[in-house]
Amino acid sequence: ALDALGLDEVDVYGTHTGAMIGLELAIQQPGRVRSLVLDGITMFDEAETARILASYTPPLEPRADGTHLLWAWTFLKDQTQFWPWFDRGNPSPWRDGDLSPQALNTWLVELLKSGETYPKGYRAAFSYPTREKLPQLTVRTLVCSHPGDPLAGYCDEAARLAPNATAALLPPATRDQAAAMAAFLRG
């Protein structure tokens, strides 16, 4: 994609699943990635990975009565209120405020378009060998998250494992998070 766009050097931002994609890109193309921002990075132990992989991505199969649509809506809404979404006894909102019905609808449409393949991205991110990969990272990196993010607890460890990384807990407001990231990218 970088070749097709004619981009020789880029700054990369990835959040959650996108953080693992950004990390792998920076490892494979270190000369092209100037700076990397990893916003929420998975570093689950084996037991937590197994628990999440067993329950996080049930099949999304169309049903004649349409109940798959209600399930999909609830699956996404619960991701904004619990961590993991299927553990309703563990409230952990990580979004900045409530997700509007319009935003949730857009997210739902994208989930439904992905159909049976929707688990692939989640499963890849949850299975990614982050602890093994971080020491291979050579580019300047900000490992960050905001206080409500269930992945915030991994920032310091991730920054210790990556040779050129800094950890930061971001402010809660989205605008302030963007300002902090922009300040890092400016150097």
- Residues 113/105, Cβ–Cβ less than 8 Å: no
> How does pLDDT run across 130-165, given as a tens digit for each residue?
999 999 999 999 999 988 888 999 999 999 999 999
User: Cα–Cα distance between 162 and 139 in angstroms, integer?
Assistant: 9
State what percent of residues in the chain have pLDDT above 70: 97
The string of pLDDT tens digits covering residues 59-113 is 999 999 999 999 999 999 888 888 899 998 888 766 555 678 899 999 999 999 9
pLDDT at 93: 62
Q: What b/e string do you get for 128-156 counting C-beta neighbours within 10 Å, with b at 16 or more?
A: bebeebbeebebbbbbbbbeebbbbebbe
Give, in order, the Cα–Cα distances in Å from 136 to each of 24, 104, 121, 128, 139. Answer: 9, 37, 22, 14, 9
Q: pLDDT value at position 14?
A: 97
Confidence of residue 172 (pLDDT cuts 50, 70, 90): confident
> What's the average model confidence in pLDDT over 8-36?
96
In the DSSP assignment, the letter for residue 41 is: -
State the residue for tokens 């929420």. Answer: 40
Residue 23 pLDDT > 70, yes or no?
Answer: yes
Mean pLDDT across the chain: 93
As given in the structure block, the two tokens for residue 11 are 């700054």
The model's confidence at residue 36, banded by pLDDT at 50, 70 and 90, is: very high
Q: Is 66 exposed, middle or buried (0-12, 13-18, 19+ CB in 10 A)?
A: exposed
Closest listed residue to residue 58, CA positions, set 71, 40, 67, 42:
71
Closest CA to 92 of 41, 147, 34: 147
Quick one: pLDDT at residue 81? 85
How much is the pLDDT for 100?
85
